[in-house]
């Protein structure tokens, strides 16, 4: 059976080469490790500002190649001032603009549309970081003890501008909803028009980096609303993956060494907001606002493992190509261990971000697509007369789970229904390079028949099962978080990304549970050692129990939440 897959593979003239588009300069080709036909960065190349921030690499994983830029140039001082005064709670204990519904007026009276035509990452940054190159060099030398090592020589300013304009846009549009939610636990209507002082520069910067003009998780894909985006610019980021900074630039991406750059609910101390060269001399004592930052930073510490995921996923595909079963088993084992680390890291969410606090910032990450607060979308003044609709920021834009889905050939097992269509739509909301990599993995896994290869041998099948079980474990933990952080506090039928809150996550979790159960029945326990046999038995037993519980939960929740929370 495998040989038929291999024959298909050989028969295809060659595996289609996934182009990285016009942004694949010679330097990158030299540095990139060409894995089959998809170039994966072995080094982060932080000084190379000609390639996007978000490039899949075995060191940076799905994180940007350089640390995010925290402080904008003087030209954007007014926006910076608004963003600092905006959070619900400020560091000095006073209330910010959003707390009293003053952000809208402040935007109208203070903000002008800044010119960004001349800004490119290279030009804007020249002369900006006198000391950082030295720090970066030292960190590179020292940092190998800390994983992953991400360079920070030059900052991609366009991505930082994108982050800040999208923060301001969401706060402006959703400010009335937040006020109403605090009074009545209902969102009402958001502002339906984004003023030109935000809309014009936001549309321009989004266009420059090939992103949608709306807050995303770690987005960036081709942007086609106004002006066709040049394929050569496809970086960007939003609220999570481009919203962190190190307290001590010499140290790695551990939770204690991270802080957020922007926030809605807020209250980061002044020193954290004004990142400076002396920053690393400051104390790294835990902030009193840990819980508010925790949600964002916990994502970052999870994604910090993604370089290993990329390594082991591609190793497993390579091993099948060589018909090298021992290497395949090793890669699969390492992959499941990495997913386990990520899942363990996810468990810290419970202590780092309080469930009751989550609703305080959640309003501001709602989208304008499929949300009752924006029945007619949003007009971007000075940009387009036609209303625009965008999904809100969601972990569904993260690439780690889609990587597992595609590699393990789970994507094709999702039910053929409108909920799965939402999953596909979400997968277009991510950096272009991530999207191309995920498509490559999906195609490659299908071509070599990864699941089929795994199931031909009981030990390989057990390793394969262990990985599917980690994807299950992620989705199961995630469903628990959703029940505790959202469903317990809110009756709103739609999640921030616009998916139906009650049925969408169980759609995928249910499909993965079915695969776990199905694969478990294929494995002959007599061919396994005691440890592996117990593992397979435990995984199968748990999946059967969880599937029954999930079905009961969804039935009960459907009755409670009604139609809107059910249909895609």
Question: The tokens of 537 are what?
Answer: 């038995």
The three-state secondary structure class of 464 is: helix
Binding map of ligand HEM across residues 90-119, x = CB under 6 A, - = no contact: ------------------------------
Least spacing, CB of residue 382 vs ligand HEM, in Å: 30
Least spacing, CB of residue 507 vs ligand HEM, in Å: 8
Least spacing, CB of residue 470 vs ligand HEM, in Å: 13
Stretch that binds ligand HEM, among 10-18, 262-270, 501-509, 551-559 (CB under 6 A): 501-509
244: which strand partners? Answer: 260
| Interaction between residue 499 and ligand HEM (CB under 6 A) | yes
Least spacing, CB of residue 61 vs ligand HEM, in Å: 12
| 478 annotated among ligand-binding-site residues | yes
The closest of 261, 215, 233, 226 to 429, measured between CA atoms, is 215
| Interaction between residue 300 and ligand HEM (CB under 6 A) | no
| Interaction between residue 557 and ligand HEM (CB under 6 A) | no
Binding map of ligand HEM across residues 363-402, x = CB under 6 A, - = no contact: -------------------------------xxx-x--x-
- Matching residue, tokens 């980021």: 237
Q: Which is nearer to ligand HEM, 197 or 363 (CB)?
A: 363
Three-state SS letters, 22-81: HHCCHHHHHHEEEECCEEEECCCCCCCCCCCCCCCECCCECCCCECCCCCCCHHHHHHHH
Three-state SS letters, 343-408: HHHHHCHHHHCCHHHHHHHHHHHCCCCCCCCCCCCEEECCCEEEEECCCCCCHHHCCHHHHHHHHC
Cβ neighbours of 279 (radius 10 Å): 18
| Interaction between residue 566 and ligand HEM (CB under 6 A) | no
Q: Are 249 and 279 in contact (CB under 8 A)?
A: yes
The three-state secondary structure class of 245 is: strand
| Interaction between residue 297 and ligand HEM (CB under 6 A) | no
| Interaction between residue 420 and ligand HEM (CB under 6 A) | no
Q: Are 393 and 219 in contact (CB under 8 A)?
A: no
- Cα-Cα end-to-end distance for the chain: 38
Stretch that binds ligand HEM, among 137-145, 274-282, 499-507, 549-557 (CB under 6 A): 499-507
Binding map of ligand HEM across residues 448-487, x = CB under 6 A, - = no contact: ---------------------------x--x--xx--xx-
Least spacing, CB of residue 341 vs ligand HEM, in Å: 13
- Which of 56, 82, 346, 543 contacts ligand HEM by CB under 6 A? 346
Rounded to the nearest 10 degrees, the angle between the axes of helix 2-11 and helix 432-448 is 120
Q: Which is nearer to ligand HEM, 155 or 242 (CB)?
A: 242
Q: Which is nearer to ligand HEM, 268 or 398 (CB)?
A: 398
- Matching residue, tokens 């903000």: 111
- Which of 299, 312, 369, 547 contacts ligand HEM by CB under 6 A? 299
* Burial track 20-38 (b if 16+ CB lie within 10 A, e otherwise): bbebbeeebeebbeebbeb
Q: Are 385 and 193 in contact (CB under 8 A)?
A: no
| Interaction between residue 68 and ligand HEM (CB under 6 A) | no
Q: Please report, as ranges, the residues that interact with ligand HEM according to CB under 6 A.
A: 298-299, 302, 346, 349, 358, 394-396, 398, 401, 423, 475, 478, 481-482, 485-486, 495-499, 504-505, 508
Annotated binding site for heme b: which residue ranges?
478
Annotated binding site: which residue ranges?
478
């Amino acid at each position: 059976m495998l040989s038929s897959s291999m024959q298909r593979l050989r028969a295809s003239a060659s595996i289609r080469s996934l182009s990285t588009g016009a942004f694949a300069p010679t330097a990158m080709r030299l540095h990139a490790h060409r894995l089959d036909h998809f170039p994966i960065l072995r080094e982060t190349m932080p000084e190379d500002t000609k390639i996007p921030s978000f490039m899949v690499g075995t060191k940076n994983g799905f994180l940007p190649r350089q640390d995010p830029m925290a402080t904008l140039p003087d030209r954007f001082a007014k926006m910076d001032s608004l963003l600092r005064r905006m959070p619900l709670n400020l560091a000095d204990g006073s209330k910010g603009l959003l707390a009293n519904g003053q952000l809208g007026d402040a935007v109208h009276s203070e903000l002008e549309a800044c010119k960004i035509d001349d800004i490119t990452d290279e030009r804007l940054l020249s002369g900006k970081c006198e000391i950082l190159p030295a720090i970066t060099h030292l960190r590179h030398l020292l940092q190998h003890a800390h994983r992953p090592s991400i360079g920070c020589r030059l900052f991609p300013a366009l991505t930082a501008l994108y982050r800040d304009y999208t923060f301001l846009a969401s706060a402006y549009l959703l400010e009335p909803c937040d006020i109403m939610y605090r009074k009545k636990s209902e969102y009402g209507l958001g502002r339906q028009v984004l003023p030109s002082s935000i809309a014009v520069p936001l549309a321009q910067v989004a266009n420059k980096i090939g992103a949608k003009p709306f807050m995303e998780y770690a987005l960036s894909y081709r942007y086609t609303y106004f002006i066709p985006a040049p394929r050569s610019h496809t970086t960007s980021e939003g609220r999570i993956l481009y919203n962190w900074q190190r307290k001590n630039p010499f140290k790695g991406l551990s939770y204690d060494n991270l802080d957020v750059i922007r926030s809605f609910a807020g209250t980061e101390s002044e020193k954290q907001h004004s990142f400076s060269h002396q920053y690393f001399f400051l104390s790294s004592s835990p902030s009193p606002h840990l819980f508010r930052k925790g949600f964002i930073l916990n994502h970052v510490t999870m994604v910090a493992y993604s370089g290993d995921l990329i390594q082991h996923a591609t190793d497993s595909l390579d091993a099948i190509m060589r018909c090298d079963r021992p290497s395949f088993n090793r890669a699969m084992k390492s992959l499941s261990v990495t997913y386990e680390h990520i899942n363990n890291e996810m468990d810290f969410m419970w202590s780092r971000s309080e469930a009751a606090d989550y609703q305080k910032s959640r309003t501001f990450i709602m989208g304008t697509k499929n949300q009752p607060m924006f029945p007619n979308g949003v007009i971007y003044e000075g940009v387009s007369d036609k209303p625009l609709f965008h999904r809100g920021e969601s972990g569904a834009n993260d690439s780690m789970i889609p990587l597992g889905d595609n590699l393990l050939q789970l994507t094709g097992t999702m039910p053929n229904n409108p909920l799965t269509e939402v999953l596909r739509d979400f997968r277009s909301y991510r950096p272009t390079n991530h999207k191309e990599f995920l498509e490559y993995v999906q195609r490659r896994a299908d071509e070599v028949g990864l699941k089929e290869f795994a199931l031909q041998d009981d030990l390989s099948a057990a390793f394969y099962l262990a990985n599917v079980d980690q994807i299950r474990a992620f989705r199961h933990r995630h469903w628990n978080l959703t029940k505790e952080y959202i469903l317990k506090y809110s009756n709103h039928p739609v999640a921030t990304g616009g998916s139906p809150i009650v049925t969408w996550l169980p759609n995928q979790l249910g499909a993965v549970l079915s695969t776990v159960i199905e694969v478990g029945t294929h494995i002959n326990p007599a061919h396994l050692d005691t440890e592996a046999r117990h593992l397979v038995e435990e995984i199968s037993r748990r999946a059967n129990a969880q599937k029954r519980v999930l079905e009961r939960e969804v039935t009960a929740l459907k009755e409670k939440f009604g139609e809107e929370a059910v249909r895609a």
